[in-house]
Amino acid sequence: QPASLARRQLTEHLRASAEFLRRRSGQQTLLKSLQQDILRRARQLHPGFERLVIVEQWQVLSRLTRLPTSAISDALRPRPPQRLS
């Protein structure tokens, strides 16, 4: 039970942190931070990851996550700035 309590507390902390960043800095900042975290973790799990071309990086991430490459590219592609209407 202590492990599940710690996991729940971590989840709550991550949600609160994400919500704070979203409100304070907007979605673009939060998205960029998450993208950087994903790439940092990939470099730890796959030696030489940073030397791969982008498409090969997406393929590695696809294998690691079991997600389609299209989902990986959608998640990691830079987003155009949002216009306020």
d(Cα 85, Cα 83) in Å, to the nearest integer?
Answer: 6
Q: What is the pLDDT of residue 10?
A: 73
pLDDT at 1: 65
> Would you say 58 and 69 are in contact if contact means Cβ atoms under 8 Å apart?
yes
Domain ranges of the chain: 2-76
The pLDDT value given to residue 85: 45
Structure confidence by residue, pLDDT tens digits, 18-77: 788 777 777 777 788 889 989 999 999 999 999 999 999 999 999 988 999 999 999 888
Position 84 pLDDT exceeds 70: no
